[in-house]
Amino acid sequence: MRTKTSLIILTVLSLASSLRAEVMADAEPSLRKDRQAGNQKSPGDHVVVADTMKPLPPGKVQLRGWLGDSLRLSIANRLKKVDYAHLVEPFRLRNERDGRWRCEFWGKIVRSSIQSWSGQPDDELLVMIRKTVADLISTQTPDGCISSYPVELQTKDWDIWGRKYVLLGLARYYLEIEQSEAVKKAMTRELDYLMTQVGPGTNNIVNCGHQSGLAASSILEPVVLTYRITGEKRFLDYALWIAAQGGSSANNIYTSILQGIPPCKLGNGKAYEMMSCFEGLAELYRETGNPDQKKSVLAFYRAVRDQEIFMTGVGGLKDSWGEFWDNGKIKQAQLHVGSLGETCVTTTWIKFCGQVLRLTGDSTVADEMERALYNGVLGAMVPDGSWWMHRNPTPLAGPSNKDRAGDQIKGYGEDCCLAQGPRALAVAPWMAVMKDARGPVINLYESTEAAVELADGTPVKLAIEGKYPASGEVSVVVTPAKPGKFPLKLRIPAWSRKTTVAVNGQDFAGVAGTYLCIERNWNPGDVIKIQLDLRIQIHEAADGGGRVALTYGPVVLAQDSRLGNVDAPICTDKLDACVIEPNPPKGVCMLFRLADGTALCDYASAGNEFSKRNQLCVWMTRSVGK
C-alpha cells in the first residue's frame, strides 16, 4: 500500500523525465527530498540534436567479468582511499603561485569517482562524493570565484584549465547524481566570474594558459554543460564565442581539420587538450545542430583514429611523457620517438569516442573503445586497482617495462594520469549496453546484467553470459516484462570475420563492423547464442620495418619476461594452431602458446609487476623466412 508521502514522491518522479532520478530515489532517501524541492525541468530539455545512442542510467549495467572486477578494485583501492580534502585545499588557500596544476586534480578525480559510482553504485563512495562537492563549493568567494590561483595570477598558466575541471566535476555531479540547486548556483557563479576576465572585449581565450590556447579553450565542454543545466542563454553565447576563437592561437583547429590538416599540425599538437576541445564541440553541436560542427568532430575522430592511435588503443608520443600527436600510427613500432601513450590521452580518446558513438551509432567506434579498454586502459592499471601508470611501456617495439605514475608536482602526491585512469575504466559499463530510440544495444560481451527501458516504458532485462574475451561463445538471455516486438542490436566487431548468431535456433547473419539488428517478438527467457571469431590475427607495422603484432579478438598479445625471452623473434606460421593455455601463471590473465612454443600473454597482464625486471614487447620481430 502506498503512503501519501510515497505518492507525492512518485508524482514528482513521474514529472522528471530522467530515469536516473528514479534510480537515485530508490538508492538514496536524502536525494528524494532534493528532488521534491528542486526544479523538475530536466537539464537539456532544450537540446536541439538528440543522440542516436544513449547510455543507460546509473546502476543499470553491472559488469561481472574482467572489466567489472577491475572497476570494483579501482573503486575500493583507489577512489575510496583518496584524501578528497587534500584536493580541495588549493582552492581554499588560493595560493598556487608556481604556475602548476594542483587545480586539475579535484575535478579529474571526482569525475572518475562519479562515473565509477554510476557503473557500480557504492554508498560509501557516494557519501565521499557528496561531501567533497559541498567542501569545494564552500571555497567559493562572494565574487563567484573557485580557483587555486591568487587573483593577480588568474587566467595565466593552468588556471582556466583547473576551473574547467571544477565545472566538469560539478556538472557530472548534477547530471549523474543530484540536480542540486546549490551545485547549479555554484556553476553559474563560477562561469559568470570567468566571463568578467575572459571574453569579447577583454582577454581572448586562445591567449590564456598553455599549449597554444588548447588547454584554456577546452573549457568549452563545461560551458556548454552549464548552459544545458541552467538554460541561461549567455552561457550558450559564451560557448559560441569560445568555439569561434578556434581553440588555438596557432590555427583554428575546428576549421583546419576540415581542410585536411592532420592532428599533429593542429594547435601545438598537444593530444588530450585538443581532444578535449573537440569533446566540447560535440556538446556544442547538440545545442546548435550546426552541421559544420558535427562534420568537424567526425573528421577529427577519423583523422586521430587513422593517423595516431596505437595497436593498444592508446596515443601520444614525441616528448618524455608521450603527450603529443606525431604520426603515432606509423611511429608506434619504432624505437626513438619519445615516450608513448600518456594515460590522459587514452582516457580522453575513449571519452571522445563515446561522444562520437552517441552522435553516430557507428559500431566501429565501439570497436575502438573496446580495443582501448582491454589493452591501454586495463594495461595502465596496477592489478589491485590502487595505482596507474602515466605512459605506456616505451617503446612498444623492443623490450620495455611499465612504471607507476610518480609524484608529478613534488610533494603534492598526485599525477594527472593517476587521476584520469579510473575515468577511462568507468567507460566500460557506460558503453557495454546502451539504447537507441527503439531498443537495447549490446556493445560489450563480458558477463553483464543490464536493465533497459523501451520507449513505451517496458523494462527489459538482459543477462550476458560467457567467458569473453577468453572465449567467443556468448549467450544473452532476454527478459522483457511482457512479450513484445522490438529491435535489439548486437555489435558485430570488425575483427570478428565470421560471426554466427541464433535466437531460439533461428539463425541471423552478422556482418563484421556493423550492428546486427534483430527485430522480432521477444518472450521472457529468449536466448541469443553468439559465436564470435577470435582467431589470432597478424598486423604488420605501418612503418614497413617488418615488426608484427598479434591480436586475439580485441586483445593485443605481448611477450613478457616471466614467460620467455622478450624481443626474441617469433614464428608466425600456423597461427590457427595457437592455443590458450588453461592455467596461466600468477598475475597473467590470458596465456597463449604459438606453434613454435613461444608463450605470449594479453597486453594488460604483460609487465604488470611494474618493475624494471618485468619486460614486455608488443611489436615483435619474425624469425627468418617468415
Strands ordered across the beta sheet of 459-466: 61-63, 448-453, 459-466, 473-480, 526-531, 499-503, 506-510
CB closer to Zn ion, 417 vs 616 = 417
In sign, the C-alpha dihedral spanning 192, 226, 425, 299 is negative
CB closer to Zn ion, 59 vs 421 = 421
Cis peptide preceding 43, ω within 30 of 0 = no
SS (HEC) of 471-483: CCEEEEEEEECCC
Q: Which residue has the cell 574547467?
A: 164
- Among 113, 617, 79, 603, CA closest to 376: 603
From the list 137-145, 341-349, 521-529, 533-541, the region that binds Zn ion by CB under 5 A is: 341-349
Q: To the nearest whole angstrom, how small is the minimum distance from the Cβ of residue 161 to Zn ion?
A: 12
Paired residues of 501 in beta bridges: 508, 530
Q: To the nearest whole angstrom, how small is the minimum distance from the Cβ of residue 84 to Zn ion?
A: 20
Q: To the nearest whole angstrom, how small is the minimum distance from the Cβ of residue 278 to Zn ion?
A: 18
410 Cβ neighbours under 8 A, 6+ residues apart: none
Q: To the nearest whole angstrom, how small is the minimum distance from the Cβ of residue 386 to Zn ion?
A: 17
The amino acid at residue 354 is G
CB closer to Zn ion, 282 vs 417 = 417
What does the alpha-carbon distance between residue 442 and residue 246 come to, in Å, rounded to a whole number? Answer: 36
From the list 93-101, 157-165, 409-417, 610-618, the region that binds Zn ion by CB under 5 A is: 409-417
Residue number with the shortest CB distance to Zn ion? 344
Q: To the nearest whole angstrom, how small is the minimum distance from the Cβ of residue 165 to Zn ion?
A: 13
203 Cβ neighbours under 8 A, 6+ residues apart: 155, 197
CB closer to Zn ion, 111 vs 189 = 111
Q: To the nearest whole angstrom, how small is the minimum distance from the Cβ of residue 343 to Zn ion?
A: 6
Q: How far is CA 186 from CA 46, 61, 133, 229, 505, in A?
A: 21, 31, 10, 12, 56
From the list 31-39, 185-193, 337-345, 393-401, the region that binds Zn ion by CB under 5 A is: 337-345
CB closer to Zn ion, 84 vs 105 = 105
Q: What is the DSSP string of 408-447?
A: SSTTS---HHHHHHHHHHTHHHHHHEEE-SSSEEE---SS
Q: To the nearest whole angstrom, how small is the minimum distance from the Cβ of residue 321 to Zn ion?
A: 7
Residue 344 found at the interface with Zn ion (CB under 5 A): yes
From the list 206-214, 289-297, 408-416, 551-559, the region that binds Zn ion by CB under 5 A is: 408-416
CB closer to Zn ion, 380 vs 416 = 416
Lookup: cell for 358: 552517441
Residue 578 found at the interface with Zn ion (CB under 5 A): no
Residue 451 found at the interface with Zn ion (CB under 5 A): no
CB closer to Zn ion, 70 vs 420 = 420
For the beta carbon of residue 398, count every other beta carbon within 10 angstroms.
19
Q: To the nearest whole angstrom, how small is the minimum distance from the Cβ of residue 269 to Zn ion?
A: 16
Q: To the nearest whole angstrom, how small is the minimum distance from the Cβ of residue 136 to Zn ion?
A: 21
544 Cβ neighbours under 8 A, 6+ residues apart: none
The separation between CA 324 and the C-alpha centre of its own chain, rounded to angstroms, equals 19
Site for Zn ion in 517-536 (CB under 5 A): none
CB closer to Zn ion, 75 vs 418 = 418
What does the alpha-carbon distance between residue 220 and residue 410 come to, in Å, rounded to a whole number? Answer: 30
Q: To the nearest whole angstrom, how small is the minimum distance from the Cβ of residue 573 to Zn ion?
A: 40
How many residues in the shown chain lie near Zn ion by CB under 5 A?
A: 4
Q: Are the beta carbons of 461 and 449 closer than 8 angstroms?
A: yes
What x-and-dash track marks residues 223-252 binding Zn ion by CB under 5 A? ------------------------------
397 Cβ neighbours under 8 A, 6+ residues apart: 332, 333, 334, 335, 541, 545, 547, 617, 618, 619
Helix, strand or coil, per DSSP, at residue 251: coil
Q: To the nearest whole angstrom, how small is the minimum distance from the Cβ of residue 506 to Zn ion?
A: 48
Among 416, 532, 550, 589, binds Zn ion (CB under 5 A): 416
CB closer to Zn ion, 344 vs 353 = 344
Phi, psi of 63 (to 5 degrees): -85, 135
CB closer to Zn ion, 35 vs 270 = 270
- Among 464, 525, 480, 367, CA closest to 63: 464
Helix, strand or coil, per DSSP, at residue 267: coil
From the list 119-127, 374-382, 410-418, 478-486, the region that binds Zn ion by CB under 5 A is: 410-418
Site for Zn ion in 188-217 (CB under 5 A): none
CB closer to Zn ion, 356 vs 416 = 416
CB closer to Zn ion, 322 vs 361 = 322
From the list 206-214, 217-225, 232-240, 411-419, the region that binds Zn ion by CB under 5 A is: 411-419
Please state at what angle helix 105-119 crosses helix 84-93, rounded to 10 degrees. 150
Residue 275 found at the interface with Zn ion (CB under 5 A): no
CB closer to Zn ion, 174 vs 325 = 325
From the list 129-137, 335-343, 502-510, 585-593, the region that binds Zn ion by CB under 5 A is: 335-343
Q: What is the DSSP string of 438-478?
A: SSEEE---SSEEEEEE-TTS-EEEEEEEE-TTT--EEEEEE
From the list 39-47, 239-247, 334-342, 538-546, the region that binds Zn ion by CB under 5 A is: 334-342
Phi, psi of 9 (to 5 degrees): -60, -45
From the list 262-270, 342-350, 453-461, 567-575, the region that binds Zn ion by CB under 5 A is: 342-350
CB closer to Zn ion, 271 vs 344 = 344
What does the alpha-carbon distance between residue 146 and residue 94 come to, in Å, rounded to a whole number? Answer: 9
Q: Which residue has the cell 583523422?
A: 303
CB closer to Zn ion, 273 vs 526 = 273
CB closer to Zn ion, 276 vs 401 = 276
From the list 414-422, 441-449, 490-498, 528-536, the region that binds Zn ion by CB under 5 A is: 414-422
From the list 274-282, 363-371, 417-425, 432-440, the region that binds Zn ion by CB under 5 A is: 417-425
Residue 417 found at the interface with Zn ion (CB under 5 A): yes
Lookup: cell for 312: 593498444
Q: To the nearest whole angstrom, how small is the minimum distance from the Cβ of residue 421 to Zn ion?
A: 9
Q: Which residues contact Zn ion (rule: CB under 5 A)?
A: 342, 344, 416-417
